[in-house]
Structure 1
């Protein structure tokens, strides 16, 4: 491929939530190798679970890690001391954190319950956080939070209950924002009555929320943001949320936007450790991947990969990297780059995270892209034969961290900090190698092994990690190898550090934000200058009914055919697509529902009112449908979901009945297959994987029999209800 088309004909695709390894790092080992042979095209990971913060909030409060505020130090402590009410918007702190930060957020929420901090959940579903911790659940139609936020702002302005002195000194652009909210710009006051029609939340509930919010120190809380932050136009509710907290004096005691994941993003965990781990140094020296802020000369945003392959070209504002600086959002990238610069279409894919069909946008087109005649070779390295792996030409079997010796740094969303030496629990199974070793074997064939490894053994790299960690003066190498780990003490006077934006609150001139003006920008001059005609992301946040990118409202003519809004959360019983085969959890009703045919279907929540209108009963096999395809599930009929909405978690393992373009059918419940093709909005290359139009219909016995007749192979796969799909045939290498 390289000799025919050039180095950029090889696409390297690797990122995301692989196992937490360092030397054996599961993402980017192939990139490390391909850099040694002249380069490659990089698939750039977008801000996939925090789209709204990245494309929206960052333009209000300034550049921060993944669009969040970097001022996260001691926010948890300050909330505990001073906050009277917490509002969780569109997120589930009992579900999303478990795969990344463990049960620490769960314990914190219980603690807040115990000490009497009122907790409010605003979401279409009575999710697990709302059921366990919330004092009140406010049901809201998916992707309508912007209307609710505007009505809260209207109430504060109308009743004079916002912090005028703070706004005068800490905010720019408030007058433009106020004029829009009060209807002076467009003749439509954003009253609670107006918002009630958009959101399904009564006007008196909106007024009560606004008044209580204004009367006591209040913070909003998230773990990234959940489905709230991953829908069409999600930058608008994100911007508006920051504006609302700003109107009440962001940074004052008890007043924050608190994202639990922000602890660790800036190496300032709560409470602050005595030693700050040198994460950047560790990554640059030990992690087997490329620096997070670097991108290749030719690149493709992950949200556009299927378009790039199927149509032969794409372009974007910004490279879309989750770690890119905000200024990059105003730079235009094109694929392929000019031929005179070595540009070429992609003809080979080397992937170590084969999960687009389950975890990315409009992913049915990803399957079509894999099968395109343009892709001459598709290589996957992965521990499990699942999802996109089945479309590969070559599979490199990779082992798990239980089969490897490695170095570990403990931080980022953890309540503790430290380093560890991870010993093997078992020897590698079969012929499997780590990602690092697998790419290393290819390097040997190319005569580049020394360059690939820097002539260092795995044990030498592990020791190198210790030597640059920042902990080398606190524990000797001998003691670390004997004990296995070192936890860093909490700094004795950690309480002294200002909480969140406290310094900005106290003196905005001396401690400015990372915005052009140094203040909260309700109006962004940068957006106005660079995108003067953008009606989907204007210079200040608005309600966007529809536009060139999306028409996914109940007001749409499409809603006559697809009258329900789908909310798709991070899953309760999985981490994205992993753990969908755990036998114990599959016995839980909200994990899988056994259909009349014995198949374990992904649950589809539907309100009794909507179920009755469709003749659907609890346990029936149902289908989610729209123009992009069909996804099956089994109905759970209850009032944990509001009328007009249906719910199915993302991440179920795809089990394709048909992959026909425009008529695909998935039995497994991977609803990203039918999510919108376009990005967050016309100039924002995020993805929209929740809050879009579908219908739910009962699958009849005749319809299922028709599929069995038309697609017999799909119904004869080896399948165990206790665990799901099974692949029992493989190719064994030479003895």
Structure 2
């Protein structure tokens, strides 16, 4: 038996291998807070639900593109040889790009995929598609789409802000009060796009606590903050955070505690915002009494907190989850306005943060260093969709949509090609997606497992998992780089995404453009050479490739501590922000010029379509929080040990407050039906006070498993909350997802409980 180092989005581990199989997982010795998700390496790779050979849906193989699309998800698959699969894919791509144009190929392929820099499936698919003329793409992320669109109008690009966030050591030394909206959930901080060498969020927060930082949290879920922080926790009506922020802002201004000098020097638009804040424009002052009626938080708490925030070095944090809601653009915008009124932006320990522990690297010490990655080439197609509008794209060819102040047209999609993601996890209102999924002629996927995506495809090409490939693992917000060496042989006939695309490119006549004549190790050596060159520009002498590959890991010297917008505060003329004015825009002339009812020129409280204060709550009186899971990354490894051990009777666990359970005569361990007008799912019940009354928590990521496969509206057996969530954009500006503006009802499931079957392969006709 031997131990081999491997790395992933959720951490670095040693895998014990015996007779070609992984038998045990041990944490990396440099990681102070390893994630339990790694335990799923043991059974996740050799699991029976792995896709072992290329497979084609029966009707599609017999009759070709467009055949019996309503049977997707229900029909058996026929296994074929790789050469047959390559020819089928190449022929269909040639047909579509010749007869309809490359814009009819949607290959947005959103997802986290692998942590490796080379075998990163979305990069591979985008490079391949660009080598044959391009594709319709998606823009933004499900994580923070609304903020990605609004923040460039206000303060700067979201990704830039995240890389500049005030670092944990600075917060430890200077932050006296951290006011959290949506908490700082450590389960989210388990992960990092590109890999994790050491998990630092917990030690950063605990260091702040030890140094005397006081924590205040507004959230419907107590677990959003670690108990060790002893945070003052205030329950609020979900989606009411902006009302509380406005009330805090009102009492800062009303009490003369705001920093007018900062507003004058570093901001524009406070004078346009002030009439709304004071109630001059709508007759309603945004004071604490008003906010209490909306949020349920006592007015005295808000007034007292405003005073405390003005007298201490205060960091205001807002989680990414807050903007995945109706009018999600308002939350982060208003958090920035509140921080600006305090006047502490750019000071050590003060200002704002948008996503501490959203991923592990936010708050890490700063280094302006970008690791080498696969060049994706040039996309000759201009068409795109906001990432959360996939169903709209498929259902409304030729239809118009508004995005960031402009109007666009949805192209007519003939092929959906997906690699490295799972829309049946990420997307909302899965019954609507299922209807949309019947529209294209062909759906082609690279998949590792028989999850919902592969079951609803026409051509399924088996892809390798992390431990079955060689790669380089490194992240832009992490100091460690790892030589990811293949640990075990691929299951069945699974291939790396690169090898799959090489096979298709050979059939379509684009192999040289795609591969440039390089194999896997050639690319890794090229990446490392670029990394060494970039490191040298910072005075860092990285080892040569052979030494690095033999040693298996390398750590960069520690970066410098950072204060978000420190340079801007010191010299706003030299270090202008990338906004139209170069300053923080409390009122945006640009956004106002779009004349959108759903997003005005300054942040506002706008009532969600579904929330506990609205009319829909009479029929569906529980607010669903479909947050990130603790035992997997999104839906990755839902079939693995860590995720499966968290289930209740084999399905996802839903948490409900004791009062709500008693009202419905429910008990711990019951199988419950969670439903609304969009769909229904079964979950196993946990009863706990970690959620407040009127709120239920059902994490995302359980594999969609309908009782009647392929049938729109069928009961989901496994606990996927996205059969319940709303598929509407956050606003006409950002078009982000609105999963957290969802109401449901819950009842005990009566009758014979259907078995979860999604972890068993569908019917497969062998070679």
Aligned to 1:339: none
Q: Deviations over 1:203-233 (max 9, x none)?
A: 12212222221110011235xx242121111
Q: Which deviations, in whole Å up to 9, do the C-alpha atoms of 1:141-186 show, x marking residues without a partner?
A: 1111011101111111111112122122222111222211111111
Shift of 1:405: 1.7
**Paired residue for 2:170?**
78
Deviations 1:21-75 (A, max 9, x none): 2222221423322323333333x043311134223333321x2244746643x54
Counterpart check, 1:183 vs 2:279: yes
Asked whether the equivalents of residues 150 and 329 of structure 2 are also in contact (C-alpha less than 8 Å), the reply is yes
* 2:24 aligned partner: none
The corresponding residue for 2:292 is 196
2:636 to 557, 574, 578: 578
Q: Given the superposition, is the C-alpha separation of residues 306 and 584 from structure 1 closer, same or farther in structure 2, using an over 3 Å criterion?
A: closer
- Count residues in correspondence: 661
Equivalents in 2 of 1:52, 1:91: separation in Å?
19
SS at match of 1:220: strand
8 A Cα contact 2:393 2:410, kept in partner:
yes
1:360 aligned residue (427, 433, 439): 427
Q: 2:340 aligns with which of 241, 246, 259?
A: 246
Cα 1:41–1:52, aligned 2, differ >3 Å: closer, same or farther? Answer: closer
Q: Secondary structure at the match of 2:122?
A: coil
Q: What pairs up with 1:254-403 in 2 under 5 angstroms?
A: 254-259=349-354, 270-272=364-366, 277-279=369-371, 282-283=372-373, 287=374, 289=376, 296-318=381-403, 329-336=404-411, 345-372=412-439, 375-403=440-468
Which ranges in structure 2 are unaligned for 5 or more consecutive residues? 1-94
Q: Contact (CA 8 Å) 1:13, 1:353: kept in 2 or not? A: no
Q: 2:652 aligns with which of 602, 624, 630?
A: 602
Partner Cα separation in structure 2 for residue 171 and residue 262 of structure 1: 28
Deviation at 1:729, TM superposition (A): 5.4
Q: TM-score normalised to the size of structure 1?
A: 0.84
Are 1:621 and 1:633, in contact at CA under 8 Å, matched by a contact in 2? yes
Alignment of 1:96-495 (within 5 A): 96-100=188-192, 101=196, 103-221=199-317, 225-249=319-343, 250-259=345-354, 270-272=364-366, 277-279=369-371, 282-283=372-373, 287=374, 289=376, 296-318=381-403, 329-336=404-411, 345-372=412-439, 375-408=440-473, 410-414=474-478, 416-417=479-480, 419-469=481-531, 470-471=534-535, 473-490=541-558, 494=560
**Offset, 1:510:** 3.4
Match of 2:703, SS state, is coil
SS at match of 1:668: coil
Gaps of 5+ in 1: 319-328, 337-344, 595-599, 709-714
Once superposed, what is the RMSD of the aligned Cα atoms? 2.6
Show CA shifts across 1:513-558 (max 9, x none). 22112221111000111x22x2221101111024xxxx11333322
Q: Does 1:593 align with 2:648?
A: yes
Q: Secondary structure at the match of 2:675?
A: strand
- Offset, 1:508: 2.4
Q: Which of these residues, 143, 157, 175, is aligned with residue 64 of structure 1? A: 157
Query: 1:704-715 alignment to 2 at 5 Å?
Result: 705=752, 715=754
Report the Cα distance in structure 1 between the residues aligned to 2:362 and 2:236, rounded to whole angstroms: 34
Residue pair 1:260, 1:413 contacting (<8 A) in 2 also: no
Give distance in 2, aligned partners of 1:260 and 1:362. 26
Judge conservation of contact 1:314–1:334 (CA < 8 Å) in 2: yes
Identify if the C-alpha distance between structure 1 residues 75 and 28 changes in structure 2 by more than 3 Å, giving closer, same or farther. Answer: closer
Higher relative contact order (CA 8 A, sep 6+): 2
SS of equivalent residue, structure 1 residue 106: helix
- Which of 679, 685, 699 pairs up with 1:629? 679
Query: Partners of 2:677 and 2:415 in 1: how far apart?
Result: 30
Instruction: Please say if residues 147 and 329 of structure 2, whose CA atoms lie closer than 8 Å, have aligned partners that are also in contact.
Output: yes
Q: After the TM superposition, which residues 528-607 of structure 1 pair with which residues of structure 2 at under 5 Å, given as runs?
A: 528-529=592-593, 531-532=594-595, 534-546=596-608, 551-587=609-645, 591-594=646-649, 600-607=650-657
- Per-residue CA shift, 1:440-470, capped at 9, x if unaligned? 1111222322221011222221111111112
Q: Which moved more, 1:473-482 or 1:76-85?
A: 473-482
Change (3 A) 1:253 1:302: closer
Deviations along 1:607-626, whole A, 9 cap, x unmatched? 22222222222222222222
